[in-house]
Amino acid sequence: MPDNLAERHPGEERRLHQRVRVRWPVSLLQKQDKARVLSTVTENLSSQGFSCVLDEPLAAGELVECVLKFPLRIETNTPRSLRCEAEVVWVNALDGGRFGVGCRIDDYTFAGAGL
C-alpha cells in the first residue's frame, strides 16, 4: 500500500485508522451559529474521528465542540463522556434531505455529564 495518500488508486480505502460501527449519542455545538447544539448518533468511530448523520449540513472546515456519550454501564466515578474539539472534514448530501458528516477529533478530555 502506498505511503502517500495522493499515490493511491481511485476507490482504494483512504482511512488510516480502523473504524468501528458504533451508534453513540453525540451533541455538536456550532460555535459560529450562536452556540446551537445539534444532537444525533455516531455512525462509526476511530481513534481520530467519527461520522454521523444530521438533518442540516455543516461546512467543511467548521470547528465544533462535541460530547460523545458512552452508553455503557460503568462505575460512578468513571467519566461517562468524551468532550472534544473537532473539525468537519467532509459533508455528503444523503437521500431524504439529510447529511453525512465526518469530523476529525483535534483534542479531547473525559468528562461526567455532557452538553
- pTM of whole model > 0.85? no
Per-residue pLDDT of the chain in tens (115 residues, 90 and over written 9): 344 434 434 444 455 567 889 899 999 998 776 678 999 999 999 989 999 999 998 999 999 999 999 876 666 666 688 899 999 999 999 999 999 999 999 999 987 654 5
What domains, with CATH codes, occur in the chain?
A: 15-111 (2.40.10.220)
C-alpha distance across the termini of the chain, in Å: 41
Strand partners, 105: 86
Query: From CA 99, how far away is CA 51, in angstroms rounded?
Result: 10
